[in-house]
Structure formats: C-alpha cells, structure tokens
Structure 1
Amino acid sequence: MKAVNPLRRAVALAALAWVAVPAQAQNTFKIGELNSYKAQPAFLEPYKKGMELAIDEINAAGGVMGKKFELVTRDDNANPGDAVRVAEELISREKIDVLTGTFLSNTGLAVADFAKQKKAFFLAGEPLTDKLTWQGGNAYTFRLRPGTYMQAAMLVPEAVKLKKKRWAVVYPNYEYGQSAVAAFKTLLKAAQPDVEFVAEQAPPLGKLDAGSVVQALADAKPDAIYNVLFGADLSKFVREGNTRGLFQGREVVSMLTGEPEYLDPLKDETPNGWIVTGYPWNNHNTREHNAFLQAYQAKFKDYPRLGSVVGYAMIKSVAAGVAKAQSADSEKLRVAFRGLQVDTPFGKITYRAEDHQSTMGAFVGRTKNEGGKGVMVDARYLDGAQFQPSAAEVKKSRNAD
C-alpha cells in the first residue's frame, strides 16, 4: 500500500474542513437578496444603492459580532418560479446566512412559501400584498414596507373628505393590485356607506392598453378615481388620461404615485392635485433622514428614491436582528425579529410580533407639476403603527405561528 504524504493529507483535510464550515462561521455574514432588477429598474436600482450604503456603514463600524456583511444579489426575472429557484440557489450554493428581497407581490408570496417549507428566515423588503403577513403569513417571513391595507388606510380619510359617491378603480391585475383595491373598497365602504364603485379596470401588469382603459373609465362618469398603477403602466395611463381629459374635474386618489421613481418619468405630464402616498425626499427635515440623505448623496452624487430607503432599512434591519439574536440562525432570527426595533431614515420602527409587519409608515400628500417636474407637496409622514389592524383582527386571518 502506497504511503500517504503527511503534508498532502493535512492539506486535503483542511480543504474538507473549509468546505464544511458554513458562511456564518467564517469572517462574514452573507446576505442573500433576490429581486426583479431587469423588470423594475426604476425602483430597484436606487434600492440596491440603499443596500450598498447600509453595508458600507455596518462594515465601517466593525460589522456585527466582529463579522462584516457581504451582499449577494440575484435577479428573479419577475417570475415566482424563478424566484423560488434563485432562493434555493442562494441557500444551497452560495451558503447565505439570511434571505431577503423581492419586489412583486406574487414573487414575494412564492419565496415566503419557500421559506416556510425550508424553515429559512426571510425578510421581504417591498412586496405589498396583505397576504404576506396575514392569510399567507408564516413563522419565518417578516416584511418591512407598509402593505396595501396600511397604505389604503392612510388614503381613505382623505378620500372621505372629498365627499364623492361614484368611484372607479384601476389596478394591475395581479396580487398587489387586487389586494390594494380590496383594502380600499372595504375601508371606504366602512367610512362612507353610500359609496358606489361604478367601474373597474384591471389590465395585466405591464400590458396596459391605455386608450381602452381610459375610455372605459370616462364612459362610467365617476366622481373620483382610485388608481394603483405604477411604473410604465402609470406613465401610459397619465398620458392618455391627460389627452382625453379624464382627470378634469375629477379627484384622483393614487397609491405609490408620489414616489420619485414614478413621479420623475412623468415630467411635464404630471397631473396636479392627486392625493398620493410617496416620498418627498427633499422636504423631510428630521435628524435621521438628514443623516441618511447626506450620506446617500455623498456616496452616489444623486438624490434618494423610496427604493433607496427600503434597501437601506432592510439591511439595517438584518443587522439589528443578527445583533439581537447573536446569530444568523433562522430559528434564532425569527424569535429576535418579533418586537425588534430598528432605527431607519423615517425614525424608529418595530416588527410586530402579531403579524411580522414593521411599523414603517408612509407619506401622504398631493402631486404638483412644478416647472415641468413632478413633485409631492403638502406631505406628512404617517406612522404605520396607527394604521395596522388590531392583534385580535390579525389572529382571525393568521394561523402561522
């Protein structure tokens, strides 16, 4: 039998030992993130910059538990099946410690279900459907942004003040749009029982036939319109609505439209006076936000979008969770996140134990065409904690924990 070189054997054993050591036991925490970068660049390019800024700050401060953070990102092709495949690859091939991300509600739900099956902690930064934290919620999934119920609850009091009876709704026909309209209808009906919904247009996401949608809404002669379109669909809708006079003499309440990533492309077509949720980045003067704004502009020579805040706050949340748990283990993280408090550019937020939803709020204001550029004016920040259902209400729809 041939003798084995002791040095060669030692090297081989060391190599095997290195392969067996998980990422967490090395010198970094690997944060795996998947998102629809190619499909939704307006939101997700600034979002990625926000994540990068947070990583820089965390590592410059020495990391967490003496370990630096490393970000590994992948594109999910805006497809639920691809999102699950990518999540599996991040965990099994990249050996990530924490799974984060997703933008579209359908991909978010798919990854949440994957997390439940794999018992892997998942922090969803952006998906807005209420199913993520309620009917489809699970013990391993948490969400940062205020969902469709919360944002609808912020808009409904403003809608009631309009004293309009006949409403039309327009939304992208997938999980987010359906959830956003269902919440608005329920809450507006409760606050104004005589309201009527006289028209409903639900084009497929990214495939808006603006002419036919605008004409159908105009034919219904509503007093007001509730719109939750975003991105390219929103731009087409606004352009055609302006051309056909759809918005003249009609109030519009619109979720997300006040976000700079969606206002900026409208330019001189920006309608005046829409009631919106969004982010007036240049008109929010708090200590936390000013520090974030200065750091972001110094690093990227650009102003932040809402995506920037979401990406930044998501990574900061992971860091706070790992510090509290003293581990990136999924079981320890999911316990640590229940009631976790995190400092963000919008102030301190808490991840509720009841439904794993953070208390991050949103701004409500109106759109204004200011010198050929869309801006958000008369905006005020609303604390998300004031617009969430009670623990008893959550319990009725959630049996995840």
Structure 2
Amino acid sequence: MRGYFVGAGLAIAVATMATSAMAQSEIKIGEINSYSLLPAFTEPYRKGWQLAVEEINAAGGINGKKLVVVSKDDGGKPADAQTAANELVSSEKVALLAGTFLSNIGLAVSDFANQKKVFFLAAEPLTDAITWSKGNRYTFRLRPSNYMQAAMLVEEAAKLPAKRWATIAPNYEYGQSAVAVFKKLMSEKRPDIQWVDEQWPPQGKIDAGPVVQAVAAANPEAILNVTFGADLVKLVREGNTRGLFKDRKVVSFLTGEPEYLDPLKDETPEGWIVTGYPWYSIKTPEHDAFLKAYQGKYNDYPRLGSIVGYQTIKAAAAILAKANSTDPEQLITAAEGISMPSPFGEITFRKIDHQSTLGAFTGKTALKDGKGIMVDSAYRKGSDYLPSDAEIEKLRPKD
C-alpha cells in the first residue's frame, strides 16, 4: 500500500513538473474585444491576429517560447471587459493584455491595467484620452488616434470653400473626442467657418430620419460624419433618399475602411473625404507580403481590422522578445521607443505618450462595379500628424 502512495505521489509530482515545464515553454497574451457586438470589424481582426500568432510560432516563437493568445469577448460593455481582464490576469496568468475596440472600453481596461500594474496594448480605441489626458505608464496604443486622423482629414477639409459645417457623431467617448479635435484643428486653420448644427445619435441605435432632417434644416455647406457600421449604412441610405449629400461636401472618419464601405454597395456616396484602407491599391513590399499571407490563409481580402489584429500581436511579440521577460516594468522599458516593421512600413512606439506612429490612408469614396472603393489615396505617416512634445507634456499627466 505504501508503494502505491509513493507511486501515486511520484505520478502527481511528474504531472505537476510537466505542467510547469509546459507553462514555462509558452507565453500567454490576454486579448479582449467586442466580437459579438461588432463582427464586421472584429472577425477580420481575429483573423489578423491568428495569422500573426501562426507566423511568430513558425519562426521560433518568442525567444524560443510558444506564443499563446487567450481571447475573451467583452460584449461591448466596459464592466465585462474589466471582468475579462481580471480573469485573464488572475486565472490565465497572461503576460500582458491587448485588444479592445470601443473607446470607452479601452479606457476601462487601461484603468484596470494602471490599477493592477499590468501592461496593456490597446489595439483599436481611438480616443485621445487613452494616451493623453487619461494616459498611464502601463498603456500603449497601436492605431492612429482621433487627433492624428482629424489632422489628416483637416489638411483636405480646410481647402474646401464651405463655411457652414454640421457634425454627426455617436454619443459616446469616441464620437465626442473625434468631433472635439476636428473642430479644434479645423477652426485653427479656418477661423472663418461656422458650426451650425451637431447631431449626437446613440451608438448602434441611430434614428437616421430625424438626424438627416435636423442637419438639412441647418443648411450646412459641409458635414463631418463620425458614424460607422450599421449606423453609417442607415445614415447614408436616409441621406441619399432625402438628398442631404447632394451638392454638400462630406468629411468622414473611417468610412474608407472595407468593413464599412462594403455594406453600402451601390449606395456608396461618391466624393467623401475619408480615412480608410485601400488594400487593392497599396504597392509596397511590406504590404504585398502581408496580403499574400492573408489571402493564402483565408482566401479572402483583408479589412482594416485584419491589419490591426495582425500588428497588435506582432507588436506585443516584439516587445516581449526585446524585454526577454514578462515583468510589466521591463515590458514598459522595452516598449518605450521600440521600432518594428508593419504592413504599412516601420512604426515606433513613442516614449513620450506611448502612441505608435502607425499612419492611415486618406482619399475619397467612389463607386466601381457597384461597390464602394477609395480613390486618390495616400498614406499619411502617423509621426507627421502629432503635436509637439511640449504640447503633449501639457496634455498627459505625469506618471
């Protein structure tokens, strides 16, 4: 009987050692996003990060350790995102957190990361607050912010003769931030313009008829649009029906992204000034390699979400490899100032505000073969559209 217990104990010890060795041979990243709420963006995003994981592990992992991503759905709720973050850190023992889409959720996870001293790489949230007014030492952001995209759009918008402007944006952190910074930058370049109307439909629940009617009644010469997804489709449909966009200029955040253009099909309005992702007209070695790999794996074309998912995990892996540690402080040291390749060319995570210099494409909407596309597109480097270090020091709290 004693031999039995010794044998059983030895078996347990061996199993524990094997489990421990397995844990030591892999590095986990905890990933959170609004998969069930925003599938048009998050499904391509998931495909992007899965491709990145496959490439990283095929190349030997992170300093010889296998990369594992543990993913959770926040359902579009900040509280659920914080719960997911806590489970990933406490139960899954992830080395860092990554992801999120909506700006209010990104801020919630950033706050969690700051309180718990966990490294967080925000993928998609665009609010300026995440790296500036509510920035913290544990949070970094990949995508070009509202400020950066607004500055890119204002370059073109300021050339328009229009003086009377209206705005339409979802009434939550992202929409509020985008409108505020666009108005600020636009008014600095064009002090002669007037802001004649603002419409703030709830995110995901736009009642497009009254919104279009109210904007038309204000009789603007130009419109800033910040709606996206299903709200954008409803706004465009109602606006086309009522002639809102006829003879009016429209400047629109995100609308050139395939995930938002594709559902519009032949209803796509032409001539809107937009940021987006014209994957079909980007001719660089870095993007060609990404496109070939993505289409080879999925037999589908990438969306902007695909780029964001892919580069989020590539960036996290580069930071982990440089740090050669999962200690949050060493990850921060490794991340501040790190440069790396991306499908859009080399990018850097700035030390001063933890913002990456990933840029965006600007161009105009057009119709081709019954489908919306971007034309006259040009890549804008993120580093060219950020305030001075002195301005950022005023905007960002001291760590």
Both proteins in one fold, TM over 0.5: yes
Q: Of 142, 145, 152, which aligns to 2:143?
A: 145
Letter in 2 for 1:5: F
* Matched residue, 1:7: 7
Q: Of 326, 329, 332, which aligns to 1:331?
A: 329
Does structure 1 residue 136 correspond to structure 2 residue 134? yes
Matches of 1:392 and 1:323, distance apart in 2: 31
Matches of 1:33 and 1:199, distance apart in 2: 39
Matches of 1:3 and 1:50, distance apart in 2: 53
| Count of aligned positions | 399
Structure 1 portions without partners, runs of 5+: none
Does structure 1 residue 44 correspond to structure 2 residue 45? no
Matches of 2:134 and 2:398, distance apart in 1: 8
* Matched residue, 2:118: 120
Letter in 1 for 2:9: R
Aligned-pair distance for 1:310? 0.5
Aligned-pair distance for 1:13? 4.1
Does structure 1 residue 270 correspond to structure 2 residue 268? yes
SS in 2 for 1:5: helix
Matches of 2:234 and 2:110, distance apart in 1: 32
CA RMSD of aligned residues (A): 1.6
Structure 1 residues 400, 22: closer, same or farther in 2, change over 3 A?
A: farther
Matches of 2:395 and 2:17, distance apart in 1: 46
Matches of 1:159 and 1:397, distance apart in 2: 25
Aligned-pair distance for 1:17? 5.7
Aligned-pair distance for 1:26? 1.6
Aligned-pair distance for 1:7? 2.8
TM-score (norm 1): 0.97
Aligned-pair distance for 1:199? 0.3
SS in 1 for 2:296: helix
Aligned-pair distance for 1:93? 1.3
SS in 2 for 1:120: coil
Letter in 2 for 1:9: G
Aligned-pair distance for 1:311? 0.5
Q: Deviations over 1:129-173 (max 9, x none)?
A: 000000111000000000100000000011110021100000000
Matches of 2:102 and 2:21, distance apart in 1: 30
Letter in 2 for 1:46: P
Matches of 1:93 and 1:400, distance apart in 2: 31
Q: Deviations over 1:92-144 (max 9, x none)?
A: 11221221010000000000000000000000000000000001110000000
SS in 2 for 1:339: coil
Structure 1 residues 222, 31: closer, same or farther in 2, change over 3 A?
A: same
Letter in 2 for 1:315: I
* Matched residue, 2:93: 95
Letter in 2 for 1:8: A
Does structure 1 residue 298 correspond to structure 2 residue 305? no
Q: How does 1:169-184 map to 2 (within 5 A)?
A: 169-184=167-182
TM-score (norm 2): 0.97
- Aligned residues: percent identity? 61
Matches of 1:30 and 1:301, distance apart in 2: 28
* Matched residue, 2:391: 393
Aligned-pair distance for 1:372? 1.1
Letter in 2 for 1:243: T
